[in-house]
């Protein structure tokens, strides 16, 4: 797929009406935004459009209102925060494509931005309904998609509208495509992937796609025990996906030594932060005990690999990092990512939270804004919200 897409820099914007799909799906609690990073990251595109004389309609989803109007998922707090950040009022329409949205969009002047309500208030959004997409496009001259986090979904506002308007790529999306695209096509070597998390089934396609591209794949976290089992190790009560054992054996056979597994684990006698714990050699976990984190030898070994790489992609924690006694391995990986001279990329989700919690986020070269989207990208899948944008 071509990742070089037209952006607002490639067109005259003066007097144009532009529909922009953003990812304003910010964490909310009792109507208060907990973290405004997604709004802040949309600003470069929005500001550029405003400064170049466009009249801007912004849209986004928030949460899962399941096709029904629900004030809990209103974008009102987003409109307020946007107004503060842009230092100009961003009016919020009362609906998505109804009378209010039509009136607010019609009244929007060059240099102004308005927001329509949560696109998922309408069930036709997730169904990628053509009539709904057409109504979203109505009155606009151009569509800009800057919602990388939603680009793996073919919904009306992420893909459908491109059938009715010239579709361009926003700056946040452009950066994601540049960084992730380069990692896959032309990485500084050695290229190392650190893959963790609980579910092996979620990561198999990723491992398969990265195998020919990477020099090292370091497996950590809950999914490493199914690998141990495939090698004939004893894993006690650790997480195990028995159905995947044959697949993993085949994978290891063709991996030519690129896949590295933990050499030791921190094991516990129950799934609890206060459990008894000890270090065990990988594949030697006794009955009744379970792997909860990578051990100190593995943390050192994998940390050194991260430090001596040219490019590192990390996705998924090395242990049950939500429990402080089992967060050491994840912390060690995060620290190595921060200290490494490699170009470091974090694929969103738990690994991103871990570096943020540790205050290391600004030492990482790129933290993807799309967990699911960046995974699918790295799996080699076409993202519908990217494929529909015009090539340069």
Q: What are the helix (H) ranges across the chain?
A: 37-51, 76-86, 99-107, 130-137, 171-185, 200-210, 224-230, 245-254, 296-307, 328-339, 349-357, 371-378, 384-387
Residues 136-175 that bind ligand AMP (CB under 6 A): none
Residue 270 binds to ligand AMP (criterion: CB under 6 A): no
205: contact with ligand AMP by CB under 6 A: no
What is the sign, positive or negative, of the torsion defined by CA atoms of 181, 211, 209, 264? Answer: negative
Rounded to a whole number of angstroms, the minimum distance from the CB of residue 147 to ligand AMP is: 22
Number of amino acids touching ligand AMP (CB under 6 A) = 16
**Candidates 283, 348, 349, 385; catalytic one:** 349
Any idea which residue has 């050194």 for tokens?
304
Q: How far is the CB of 160 from ligand AMP (least distance, A)?
A: 29
Residue 199 is among the residues annotated as catalytic for this protein: yes
Closest residue to ligand AMP, Cβ-based?
197
Does residue 202 bind ligand AMP (CB under 6 A)? yes
Judged by CB under 6 A, the residue of 59, 240, 320, 333 near ligand AMP is 320
Per CB under 6 A, does 385 bind ligand AMP? no
Phi, psi of 223 (to 5 degrees): -75, -10
Q: Does 269 bind ligand AMP (CB under 6 A)?
A: no
Contact assessment for residue 149 and residue 371, using Cβ atoms and an 8 Å cutoff: yes
Alpha-carbon distance of 262 to 219, in angstroms, equals 7
Is 197 an interacting residue with respect to ligand AMP (CB under 6 A)?
yes
- What are the Cα distances from residue 265, in Å, to 236, 260, 282, 321? 12, 14, 6, 14
Tokens of 172: 């946040």
User: Which residue is associated with the tokens 């600003």?
Assistant: 43
A 10 A CB-CB count for 278 gives: 12
Nearer to ligand AMP, 204 or 387 (CB): 204
Distance CA 343, CA 347 (A): 13
d(CA 192, CA 159): 32
Q: Shortest distance, CB of residue 381 to ligand AMP, whole angstroms? A: 18
- Give the chain's end-to-end CA distance (angstroms, integer): 12
Contact positions with ligand AMP (CB under 6 A) in 222-241: 222, 239
Q: How far is the CB of 68 from ligand AMP (least distance, A)?
A: 28
Q: Is 350 in the site for ligand AMP (CB under 6 A)?
A: yes
Opening angle at CA 327, ends 322 and 331, nearest 5 = 120
Q: How near is the Cβ of 303 to ligand AMP at its closest, in Å?
A: 17
* C-beta separation of 319 from 307 below 8 A: no
Known catalytic residue at 38? yes
DSSP state of 5: B
Among 262, 316, 370, 385, binds ligand AMP (CB under 6 A): 316
Q: Is 329 in the site for ligand AMP (CB under 6 A)?
A: no
Instruction: For ligand AMP, give the closer residue by CB, 203 or 305.
Output: 203
Residue with tokens 């516990």: 268
Tell me the closest approach of the beta carbon of residue 10 to ligand AMP, in angstroms.
37
**In b/e form, how buried is each residue of 133-154, taking b as 16+ CB within 10 angstroms?**
bbbbbbebbbbbbbbbbbbbbb
Q: Which is nearer to ligand AMP, 317 or 385 (CB)?
A: 317
Options 98, 233, 372, 380, the catalytic residue: 372
> Is 296 in contact with 281 (CB distance < 8 Å)?
no
**Which of 317, 347, 348, 370 forms a contact with ligand AMP (CB under 6 A)?**
317
Selecting among 38, 105, 124, 258, the annotated active-site residue is: 38
Distance of closest approach, residue 237 Cβ to ligand AMP, in angstroms = 10
Exactly one of 322, 324, 341, 391 binds ligand AMP (CB under 6 A); which one? 322
Does 319 contact ligand AMP by CB under 6 A? yes
Beta bridge partner(s), residue 194? 218, 314
* By CB under 6 A, residue 291 contacts ligand AMP: yes
Q: Does 292 bind ligand AMP (CB under 6 A)?
A: yes
Catalytic residue among 199, 270, 300, 381: 199
Binding segment (CB under 6 A) for ligand AMP, from list 112-120, 178-186, 317-325, 358-366: 317-325
Q: Residue 133 in contact with residue 165, Cβ under 8 Å?
A: no
Rule CB under 6 A: which residues touch ligand AMP?
197-199, 202, 221-222, 239, 291-292, 316-317, 319-322, 350
Which residues are identified as catalytic? 38, 199, 349, 372
């Amino acid at each position: 797929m071509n990742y070089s897409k037209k952006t607002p820099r490639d067109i005259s914007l003066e007097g144009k009406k532009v529909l922009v799909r953003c990812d304003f799906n910010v964490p909310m609690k009792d109507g208060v935004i907990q973290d405004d990073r997604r709004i802040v990251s949309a600003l470069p595109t929005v500001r550029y459009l405003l400064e170049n004389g466009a009249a801007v309609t912004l849209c986004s989803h928030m949460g899962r209102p399941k096709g029904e109007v629900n004030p809990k998922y209103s974008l009102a707090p987003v409109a307020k925060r946007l107004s503060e950040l842009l230092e100009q009022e961003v009016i919020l329409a009362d609906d998505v494509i109804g009378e209010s949205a039509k009136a607010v969009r019609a009244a929007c002047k060059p240099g102004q931005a308005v927001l329509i309500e949560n696109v998922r208030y309408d069930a036709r959004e997730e169904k990628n309904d053509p009539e709904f997409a057409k109504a979203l496009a109505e009155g606009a001259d151009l569509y800009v998609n800057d919602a990388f986090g939603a680009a793996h979904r073919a919904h009306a506002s992420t893909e459908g509208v491109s059938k009715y308007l010239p579709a361009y790529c926003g700056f946040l999306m452009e950066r994601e495509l540049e960084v992730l695209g380069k990692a896959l096509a032309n990485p500084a070597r050695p290229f190392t992937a650190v893959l963790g998390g609980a579910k092996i089934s979620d990561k198999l396609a990723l491992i398969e796609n990265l195998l020919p591209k990477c020099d090292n794949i370091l497996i950590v976290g809950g999914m490493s025990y199914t690998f141990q089992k495939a090698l004939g190790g004893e894993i006690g009560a650790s997480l195990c996906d028995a159905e995947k054992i044959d697949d993993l054996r085949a994978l290891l056979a063709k991996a030519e030594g690129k896949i590295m597994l933990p050499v030791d684990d921190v094991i516990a006698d129950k799934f609890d932060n206060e459990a008894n714990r000890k270090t065990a050699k990988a594949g030697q976990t006794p009955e009744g005990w379970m792997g909860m984190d990578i051990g100190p030898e593995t943390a050192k070994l994998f940390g050194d690999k991260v430090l001596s790489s040219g490019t590192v992609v990390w996705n998924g924690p090395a242990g049950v990092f939500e429990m402080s006694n089992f967060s050491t391995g994840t912390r060690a990986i995060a620290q190595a990512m921060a200290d490494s001279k490699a170009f470091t990329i974090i694929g969103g989700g738990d690994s991103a939270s871990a570096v943020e919690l540790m205050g290391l986020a600004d030492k990482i070269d790129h933290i993807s804004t799309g967990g699911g989207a960046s995974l699918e990208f790295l799996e080699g899948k076409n993202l519908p919200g990217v494929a529909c944008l015009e090539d340069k």
